[in-house]
């Protein structure tokens, strides 16, 4: 089975712009979660989508949003980018039950200038 794929792998944006990141889960997985990884804050949970509905949400401002499509692919959007949004954004997929193993993609590295 193909693993979790994320596109693009690298992005450079300027402050105030918006960005959309994409994640394709492992075939058959219905849950997609997003995490932000930074040297200072470590890995922080953004949100989880299951069957096109947001099931869990972390403590991030409303500038961070996401959605999931009927084929379980997910997108994450960040509007009005700030310098502090520079990070590695990781997507993870799982079958959809509780407390399951999550399988991570390689991440999208976002640099905001």
CA distance 83 to 14: 8
Binding mask 2-41 for other proteins (x = CB under 8 A): --x--------------------------x-x-x------
Q: Is 100 in the site for other proteins (CB under 8 A)?
A: yes
Q: Is 66 in the site for other proteins (CB under 8 A)?
A: no
| 64 close to 44: Cβ distance less than 8 angstroms | no
Number of residues that bind other proteins (CB under 8 A): 26
Q: Is 1 in the site for other proteins (CB under 8 A)?
A: no
Q: Which of 95, 81, 112, 78 is nearest to 33 (CA)?
A: 95
Applying CB under 8 A, the residues found at the interface with other proteins are: 4, 31, 33, 35, 42-43, 45, 48, 50, 55-56, 58, 90, 92, 94, 96, 98-107
């Amino acid at each position: 089975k193909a693993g979790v794929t994320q596109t693009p792998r690298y992005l450079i944006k300027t402050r105030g712009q918006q960005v959309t990141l994409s994640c394709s889960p492992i075939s058959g997985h219905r849950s997609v979660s997003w995490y932000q990884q930074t040297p200072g804050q470590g890995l922080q949970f953004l949100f989880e989508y299951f069957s096109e509905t947001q099931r869990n949400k972390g403590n991030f401002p409303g500038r961070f949003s996401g959605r999931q499509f009927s084929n379980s692919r997910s997108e994450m959007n960040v509007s009005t980018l700030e310098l502090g949004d520079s990070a590695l954004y990781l997507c993870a997929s799982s079958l959809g039950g509780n407390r399951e193993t999550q399988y991570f993609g390689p991440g999208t590295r976002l640099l905001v200038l």
